[in-house]
Amino acid sequence: MVEGAELLSVALDAGARVESVYVAPEGRAADAVAAVVDRAFAEGVRVFDLAPGVLERIADTTTPQPVLSVVAFEPRALGELAGGSLVVVCVDVRDPGNAGTVIRTADAAGADGVVCCAGSVDPYNPKTVRASAGSLFHVPVVAGGGVTEVLGELRDAGYTVVGTVVRDGQDYTAFDWTGRVALVLGNEASGLPVEAVASLDRRVSVPMAGRAESLNVAVSAAVVCFEALRQRRVAGS
């Protein structure tokens, strides 16, 4: 489920298969909504005008935007990421807002894909879709797979498997991110599980000057992914 005119526009631009669009009465009065709904209809999408109050009962937000869409998705296989250079792996990332922000960050930093291992939130959860701000339609997202199997397959594909840890890891800026790397992020509260840590090639940490115990997982993803982007730009890769 995709909420809002902007996300619907992104889905259409990305060539996603939009199955249906549902418009609240007030939506027709908004130029941005009317424009994207007319575009969807012109492309053959079924459009339904709702009676007052219906959208509020079916949406999962308190004050929903005046247009909802149902968009089909094609499951992606881990093997599709074999030729990439930077992949982000979520292990037991449970919060949909965090997962969506990680996907958005990975897209912005030029990552080749995101893997949400079994135990992480469904990447197609409506809250995850919203938090991704459309990046779910831009970057390949693989859902499922045990962490040991996923990391083993990525290693076999030539990736160095690097996990973020709160302490005792190499300074993330001292690591060489210009090669083929799978960046592994752990649970919001407990970090990476034992089996994930055992499957790592390297561990990195983000030094902190204050008294905060750790960073939010989505913030950690942004800090590390953009260091990887910085190094790759310097190297011209």
pLDDT digits (tens, 9 = 90+) for 161-201: 999 999 889 999 999 999 999 999 999 999 999 999 999 99
Q: Are residue 143 and residue 216 in the same domain, yes or no?
A: yes
What is residue 58's predicted lDDT score, i.e. its pLDDT? 84
| Residues of the domain holding 217 | 78-235
Contact 99, 73 (CB under 8 A): no
Domain CATH code at residue 40: 3.30.1330.30
Query: Taking Cα atoms as reference points, which of 159, 7, 189 lies closest to residue 89?
Result: 159
Q: How far apart are CA 66 and CA 5, in angstroms?
A: 8
Q: Are residue 59 and residue 99 in the same domain, yes or no?
A: no
- Among 24, 42, 71, which residue terminates a domain? 71
pLDDT over 80 (residue 219): yes
pLDDT over 80 (residue 156): yes
Rg, Å, the chain Cα set: 20
DSSP bridge partners of 86: 181
Contact 93, 183 (CB under 8 A): no
Q: Are residue 18 and residue 34 in the same domain, yes or no?
A: yes
Q: What is the pTM of this model?
A: 0.93
Give the dihedral of Cα atoms 208, 105, 198, 144; nearest 10 deg. 150
Segment holding 198, helix H or strand E: helix 194-198
Q: Are residue 122 and residue 11 in the same domain, yes or no?
A: no
Query: Taking Cα atoms as reference points, which of 144, 150, 142 lies closest to residue 199?
Result: 150
Q: How far apart are CA 205 and CA 228, in angstroms?
A: 14
Q: Which of 61-70, 76-85, 136-145 has the lowest mean pLDDT?
A: 61-70
